[in-house]
Amino acid sequence: MRRRGAGPDWAAQTPTWRQARPSLIADALERASARPSGNWFVVGASRQVRAGDRPYGRTVGGVEVVLWRSDDGEPRAGSGICPHLGAPLRDSRVVCGTLVCHWHGLALDGSASAGWRPFPVHDDGVLVWVRLDEVGGEEPTERPVVPTRPATGRGVDSVFTATGGCEPQDVVANRLDPWHGSWFHPYSFVDLSVVREPQGGEDDAFVVDVSFRVAGRLVVPVRAEFTAPEPRTVVMRITDGEGATSVVETHATPLTGPDHERPRTAVVEAVVAASDRPGFAVARAAAPVLRPLMRRTAGRLWRDDLAYAERRWALRSTGRFPG
């Protein structure tokens, strides 16, 4: 952490529009879209699906999904529509690890039964994913593409979720435009410069030097890289400076089906913060208190970034997008 000098004010900072070339962002988005996802979609935070709690429901790509845990904590997932008479299983109850429909008592233990079918599910310790082959349309894989994170138990994680009127590609494009940071989010970022652009292939990261605002002129300067390991995920990883190895994962999950007239996308953003400072153990111990603050910070950013993504979709859908 350091005290920043006066520096230029917002209007006097160096413009970045020449560097933020539409073709460069479009090429990065195209490469991300071509990478395999294995048909896996993030549905929420691991802690949102709790053993002994009510089921958790989400619509993904127009498909109703329900999730719950068995008594031993294993995640279960499948169609959110009861095969008997169509009850919304997200409103049902979990009894001794079994999902029991609240309309007529059909009991589901997670295996195929009475016309109900399960979906593959994966809990990576921070997020829960489901595999929907009919939505993804790709060659399925056994596991999702989970980004590398700080070692388990070393970081503090928080998950923020918001919904916007756009498609996943609009969310990903926002994250593949780091140049907007200090212009659109001056309350959080200053002194931002892209020091290396993607070259394509294996060298496909945006490398950014940026300072995070703490309070007043107190800032934390870091170097970070942005990569897109699969079509609906962008990862920002701090590679140098305070909190090195910390990651911010942005996952864009379609809620509506393809070509929907009014698409909706869920942004599920996982922050896993880590530090080598001895005092960070206090932060880990205070994680339940810190998580709401971390979510509040993410919410402020996504208030603006969803406006960016929604604007991009509105222009694309009417043929007016300049890119």
Q: What is the DSSP string of 191-228?
A: EEEEEE---BTTB--EEEEEEEEEETTEEEEEEEEEEE
162 contacts: CB under 8 Å, gap ≥ 6: 266, 267, 299, 302, 306
Query: Would you call 75 exposed, middle or buried from its count of C-beta atoms within 10 A (0-12, 13-18, 19+)?
Result: buried
pLDDT at residue number 202: 80
pLDDT, residue 54, reads 94
Q: Which residue carries 């593409």 as its tokens?
A: 145
In the chain, what are the domains? 23-37+153-317 (3.30.530.20), 40-136 (2.102.10.10)
CB atoms within 10 A of CB 199: 9
Q: What is the pLDDT of residue 316?
A: 96
User: What pLDDT does 201 receive?
Assistant: 80
pLDDT in tens, 23-34: 999 999 999 999
- pLDDT (mean) for 204-223: 91
pLDDT at residue number 107: 97
Q: Determine what percent of the chain is predicted with pLDDT higher than 90.
A: 86
Instruction: Flag whether pLDDT at 217 surpasses 80.
Output: no
Where does the pLDDT of residue 323 fall: very low under 50, low under 70, confident under 90, or very high at 90 and above?
low
Query: Is the separation of the CB atoms in 90 and 100 below 8 Å?
Result: no
Please tell me the predicted confidence (pLDDT) of residue 7. 65
pLDDT in tens, 151-180: 888 899 999 999 999 999 999 999 999 999
